[in-house]
Chain A
Amino acid sequence: MTSSRSAVIFALALLAPALLYILAIVAYPLVDTIILSFTNAALRPTYDFVGWANYQKIFGAGNFIDVIIRTFVWTFFSVAAKMVIGTMGATLLNSAIPGQTVFRILTMPPWIVPMAIGIFMWGWMYNGQFGMISGLLQNFGLIDGPWPFLAQGNSAFWATIVTDVWIGVPMVTIYLLAAMQSIPKDLYEAAWTDGAGRLYRFRRITLPLMVPAMLTMSLLSLIATFNSFDIIWILTQGGPSNQTTTMIIDTYKTAMGSRKYGEGAARAVVICIFVSLFCIVYFRAVRKLSQGEIK
């Protein structure tokens, strides 16, 4: 089983199906997106190269910058909330109380059920006249009249964030819980023997050792949130008056709504550039972290 030539050939043969599949369905479309972004492709079969015209157009119009800023604000609050709630959830699930397994199972549904179906339920909850949130707030006398969350730009923006957080929290929680449980118990026992309190142990043992897992989860959430499509599309389709139009929704509307493939591709390329930047920053951070640990 040395790395002889036949072993290499065998390994490549094993890899071939996966490699070809990804090349055809992910890599080729990625290259095609970049090429299309320099063309005026539309519904008709032929198209011409137009240089940087698409990019000049989208950055010249001004509202694209608004969309980018909105996407970043939307993503920031969503990821931050996911991490905070996920860490709290994981800490709660990690405490040694009866009913742990049941609680853990109950955490999973938003992550497991078809995303769209969870979003339908939120759609009803946000209904101003008859939905639960507006209804309960009125019953408790916190608001005067019905509040249609998705009909006003500002509240629609936050409502879509809440739903995105809801969908992301279970995964963050379970992942961080696993990371917490992989911390050696001896550390806690040693600290406990030395008289360290629970809060102190959490701050000085749990949190520092969780940093790599939290960093990984932040990146995964960041990418998922940045690319989040279903939630906004089902709840608001980017409305009212584009207040919930993030970059991905904007791209979809340009490409699939107006059938401007070339311009849509240019918008998609900008998304890819941002996502790549996130990954570079992440890998830098991980490298720094692991170097720090070795020292």
Chain B
Amino acid sequence: MSDVARTTEVAAADSPAIVKPRKRARSTKAMIDRYSWYELVGIYAGMALFLFFVLAPFIEGFLVSLKPLGLLFSTPYSFLPVNGSFDAYFTMWQSVPALGMHIFNSFFISSVVTLIVVIIVVPASYAFARFQFPGNGLMLAGFLAVNMFSGAVLLIPLFRLMRTLGLLNTYWAMIVPGAAFLIPSSIFLLRTYMMRIPKELDEAAWVDGASRLYTLRRVILPLAMPGIVVVAIMTFIGAYAQQFIFALTFNSKTEFMPLPVGLFAFFGKQEVVWNELMAASFVGILPVMIVIIFLQRYLVAGLTAGAVKQ
């Protein structure tokens, strides 16, 4: 258990953490990583520039959410919110009455997608990780090929399919296709993880007379839990981040719209109330921001499971 869990930790951990226990290596490392002052200035300046590019929209968005509309629509431009306030965070609930609903929908859709993906992916990954069957490699390649096609390319038949199944304008119209495109990379990720669990454990259970299903449930599942958690987190974040095109095309009912599409309708209005739009956006991204801070190690582990393999 601990051995498997540590593999993820190591993959995610900073390099210093790995090196620390080795005394000799540490001293070399300290020397090799010694920067001269101008190198340090360069690194920090580069980092500042890089992070400014990455974070500028959030900084601007946050400042806009604080500015009163009058200041927002005035020239010359002022970067800082003079006499700013958090008013927009209160008035937006009246301007977009369905806002709470949209946030709930986003969570609800992502949660159901995650549930579906995990239920489907766990057995499939185990099959790929452990069993030799005809068409094994071909099938895995087939799953990975799904990543080549975006939902946008397959929109027309998906639309017709949803219409035939009577799913248009329901939650399922967003959940069903959303989950499909998250399954393949999850299988790949969890398969890689499960291959690290020693095969001897399965064999021992087999010798002791455990059935295959029992082995999966009682031996593999507990050991694979850290990997499953990573897959679940990645899926949830993927589902939360990408809910736009299906929700835009397959659903026109306000009460089912997830946050991005709900705000897009608000964005399209003639008079965009920008400070409220930005305030609502921030409320919508707050949950994932918190997730990043606490779970960033898992995110890195999830993203890099494929990378390290190659």
Q: CA separation between A146 and B75, bound complex, in Å? A: 10
> Of B61, B119, B157, B264, which one neighbours A121 at CB under 8 angstroms?
B61
Contact indicator A125/B126 (Cβ below 8 Å): no
Stretch at the interface among B82-90, B91-99, B277-285: B277-285
- The majority secondary structure among interface residues of chain B is helix
Interface string of A108-126 (1 = CB under 8 A from B): 1111111111101111110
Contact indicator A182/B307 (Cβ below 8 Å): yes
B21 sits at the interface (CB 8 A): no
B1 sits at the interface (CB 8 A): no
Instruction: Select the residue from B15, B74, B152, B212 with max chain A CB neighbours within 10 A.
Output: B152
A281 sits at the interface (CB 8 A): no
**With A21-B180, A29-B157, A29-B161: A175-B53 Cβ-Cβ less than 8 Å:** no
**With A118-B57, A230-B244, A255-B156: A11-B133 Cβ-Cβ less than 8 Å:** yes
- Total count of chain A residues near the partner, CB < 8 A: 105
In chain B, residues 163-202, which have Cβ atoms closer than 8 Å to a Cβ of chain A? Answer: 176-177, 179-181, 183-184, 187, 199, 202
A3 sits at the interface (CB 8 A): yes
B37 sits at the interface (CB 8 A): no
Contact indicator A185/B25 (Cβ below 8 Å): yes
A130 sits at the interface (CB 8 A): yes
Q: CA separation between A159 and B104, bound complex, in Å? A: 32
A206 sits at the interface (CB 8 A): no
Contact indicator B264/A8 (Cβ below 8 Å): no
Contact indicator A124/B60 (Cβ below 8 Å): yes
Residue of A nearest to B308 (CB): A182
Contacting residues, chain A, for B28 (C-beta < 8 A): 189, 192
**With A106-B54, A108-B299, A112-B288: A178-B183 Cβ-Cβ less than 8 Å:** no
Interface string of B283-310 (1 = CB under 8 A from A): 0110011011100100110011011101
Q: CA separation between A96 and B260, bound complex, in Å? A: 38
Contact indicator B54/A109 (Cβ below 8 Å): yes
Residue of B nearest to A7 (CB): B131
Contact indicator B241/A113 (Cβ below 8 Å): yes
A142 sits at the interface (CB 8 A): no
A285 sits at the interface (CB 8 A): no
Contact indicator A185/B15 (Cβ below 8 Å): yes
A234 sits at the interface (CB 8 A): yes
Q: CA separation between A174 and B119, bound complex, in Å? A: 28
In chain A, residues 240-295, which have Cβ atoms closer than 8 Å to a Cβ of chain B? Answer: 248, 251-252, 255-256, 261, 264-265, 268, 271-272, 275-276, 279
Contact indicator B308/A256 (Cβ below 8 Å): no
Q: CA separation between A19 and B123, bound complex, in Å? A: 11
A132 sits at the interface (CB 8 A): yes
Residue of B nearest to A165 (CB): B53
Contacting residues, chain A, for B254 (C-beta < 8 A): none
Contacting residues, chain A, for B31 (C-beta < 8 A): 192
**With A22-B146, A22-B183, A32-B160: A103-B263 Cβ-Cβ less than 8 Å:** no
**With A223-B148, A234-B264: A115-B244 Cβ-Cβ less than 8 Å:** yes
B259 sits at the interface (CB 8 A): yes
Question: How far does the Cβ of B280 sit from chain A's closest Cβ, in whole Å?
Answer: 9
Q: CA separation between A85 and B51, bound complex, in Å? A: 11
Contact indicator B156/A36 (Cβ below 8 Å): yes
Instruction: Select the residue from A175, A229, A264 with max chain B CB neighbours within 10 A.
Output: A229
Question: How far does the Cβ of A139 sit from chain B's closest Cβ, in whole Å?
Answer: 6
Q: CA separation between A19 and B260, bound complex, in Å? A: 30
Contacting residues, chain B, for A181 (C-beta < 8 A): 15
B149 sits at the interface (CB 8 A): yes
Q: CA separation between A132 and B59, bound complex, in Å? A: 10
> Of B40, B243, B292, which one neighbours A109 at CB under 8 angstroms?
B292
Contact indicator B310/A117 (Cβ below 8 Å): no
Question: How far does the Cβ of B122 sit from chain A's closest Cβ, in whole Å?
Answer: 9
Contact indicator A174/B303 (Cβ below 8 Å): yes
Contact indicator A132/B296 (Cβ below 8 Å): no
Contact indicator B154/A3 (Cβ below 8 Å): no
In chain A, residues 202-241, which have Cβ atoms closer than 8 Å to a Cβ of chain B? Answer: 212-213, 216, 220, 223-224, 227, 229-230, 233-234
Residue of A nearest to B243 (CB): A114
Q: CA separation between A110 and B52, bound complex, in Å? A: 12
Q: CA separation between A116 and B102, bound complex, in Å? A: 14
A100 sits at the interface (CB 8 A): yes
Residue of B nearest to A6 (CB): B212
In chain B, residues 131-158, which have Cβ atoms closer than 8 Å to a Cβ of chain A? Answer: 131-134, 139, 142-143, 145-150, 152-158
Contact indicator B120/A21 (Cβ below 8 Å): yes
A152 sits at the interface (CB 8 A): no
Contact indicator B153/A251 (Cβ below 8 Å): yes
Q: CA separation between A195 and B283, bound complex, in Å? A: 53
A61 sits at the interface (CB 8 A): no
Instruction: Select the residue from B145, B153, B177 with max chain A CB neighbours within 10 A.
Output: B153
A169 sits at the interface (CB 8 A): yes
| A-B complex: 8 closest residue pairs judged by Cβ atoms | A135-B77, A116-B260, A178-B304, A227-B150, A11-B131, A32-B157, A96-B33, A29-B157
Extra pairs beyond A6-B212, A166-B54 (14, CB < 8 Å): A15-B127, A22-B183, A30-B154, A105-B296, A114-B259, A117-B281, A120-B263, A120-B278, A129-B75, A130-B73, A174-B300, A178-B308, A179-B304, A227-B153
20 contacts across the A-B interface (CB closer than 8 A): A1-B130, A1-B206, A11-B127, A15-B123, A89-B50, A95-B33, A103-B51, A108-B296, A110-B57, A111-B241, A117-B285, A125-B60, A130-B74, A132-B56, A175-B303, A179-B307, A213-B307, A233-B245, A255-B159, A275-B149
